[in-house]
Structure 1
């Protein structure tokens, strides 16, 4: 087998296994086929398979156990719930390629639900933007965001085609306080279509509101497939 073909097979094995893990087809704890089985499936050398599995292990997607085989690891945890995190960095920490697509951008007067979510005055103008963040070419997170134009008037001309709304806001205006709400939901038709999952799939939702010294900045709702994401916060005991 020449080196070029060997390298191509190596990348194919990595991509195939990575895709099955990210999609949820192979959930945490799933045993990866043994090296000998993968060697037969891809008609390649055991060295090629070993190299692919080693790369996946370094990426944190699988765990290799002596005499037991390789297993899908638990989802990578986001270590700072209360930080304003960058989804691009979150995806890249998994050693996956990052991209995002904007499926909706609308400027309008705030509706009753917008007023409740964003904490703005009746008659205020908002930007309503929806985008899907991708990891390794597959849906990773659905972002549904409202931005107050009273606080961030620059959002009226931002199209978010080059920079995702969250990263754009962080660079645009400092925030002084934030509120998080974390809960579980079953995927409805919109979430299922955006995330390419079955309806009623368990999802983790992180809702956040931020304010600046001027007023409300944004309300955002992040929806993640529940079997691919976890949140962890570190804290210390209060002073006695």
Structure 2
């Protein structure tokens, strides 16, 4: 006789189950940024529960930054943006335009490949994963402003392989298409090597500002990026405000 596997979810309260179902839909990408989630009335009928229970779930998701509530049009999955991270790093286009300079970008290099052993360890990837490697040069007023070197995990973002990135640079494109739930930043001052010197038109050994960021969706790396700026021309500013620690699952 076949045995039935009992899923752990059966031990969750109804509130936790609704919360987990919606959170899973968001974090797995089934409900992308901007997706209109079912109305509170629809969720009440789907789960055969009170309107108050659903309202508490949606409120909790909104406080956790996963849902944007709109009074008349209904709630949507929160549009992803660079300010969702603890450290605010703005879209490079916005940085340039804030300086009153014309902006454009060029994809310098594009390769689909397997991860190296070092990348498997650093990104927690198996050797069977495929990566899209991109080099993108951002310009301000016709001069090199930032070198973007990015790896995208194609098992999480398969649509990136066929994306041309002609209209949007890789960073804002990912923010519009892929939800993420964790990010890590590293900032360092370094000396320009040969390749960086060539891309940014600075002398070899000149100071550069390096910003590295890695984002995850659930337990999988979405992307890792290195943003390199000429050190004498760029300053990084962040604004911090007090926040509450929230646990979306109430645990």
2:115 maps to 1:86: no
TM-score using structure 2 length: 0.60
- In the alignment, which residue of structure 2 is the partner of 1:178? 183
Shift in Å, 1:238 = 8.7
Q: What secondary structure is seen at the aligned counterpart in 2 of 1:162?
A: coil
Q: Distance in 2 between matches of 1:88 and 1:200?
A: 27
TM-score using structure 1 length: 0.62
Shift in Å, 1:147 = 0.2
2:146 maps to 1:141: yes
Unaligned runs of 5+ in 2: 1-82, 245-251
- In the alignment, which residue of structure 2 is the partner of 1:220? 225
Query: Which of the numbers 130, 133, 136 marks the counterpart of 1:128?
Result: 133
Distance 1:165 1:117, change over 3 A: farther
- In the alignment, which residue of structure 1 is the partner of 2:120? 115
Q: What secondary structure is seen at the aligned counterpart in 2 of 1:103?
A: strand
Q: Distance in 2 between matches of 1:236 and 1:164?
A: 29
Distance 1:84 1:202, change over 3 A: closer
Q: Distance in 2 between matches of 1:237 and 1:109?
A: 41
Give the ranges of 4+ consecutive aligned residues of structure 1 lying more than 4 Å apart after TM superposition: 236-239
Shift in Å, 1:218 = 0.2
Shift in Å, 1:175 = 1.3
- In the alignment, which residue of structure 2 is the partner of 1:102? 107
- In the alignment, which residue of structure 1 is the partner of 2:166? 161
Give the aligned length.
Answer: 161
Q: Distance in 1 between matches of 2:99 and 2:119?
A: 34
Unaligned runs of 5+ in 1: 1-77
Q: What secondary structure is seen at the aligned counterpart in 1 of 2:173?
A: helix
2:240 maps to 1:235: yes
Distance 1:108 1:118, change over 3 A: same
Cα distance per residue 1:202-239 (max 9 Å; x no partner): 00000000011362100000000101111122335799
Check the 8 A contact 2:89/2:238 in 1, yes or no: no
Q: Specify which structure has the higher proportion of strand.
A: 1
Coordinate RMSD, CA, aligned: 2.1
Q: What secondary structure is seen at the aligned counterpart in 1 of 2:202?
A: coil
Shift in Å, 1:96 = 0.5
Q: Distance in 1 between matches of 2:156 and 2:150?
A: 15
1:194-209 to structure 2, matched below 5 A, reads 194-209=199-214
Check the 8 A contact 2:210/2:226 in 1, yes or no: yes
Check the 8 A contact 1:99/1:135 in 2, yes or no: yes
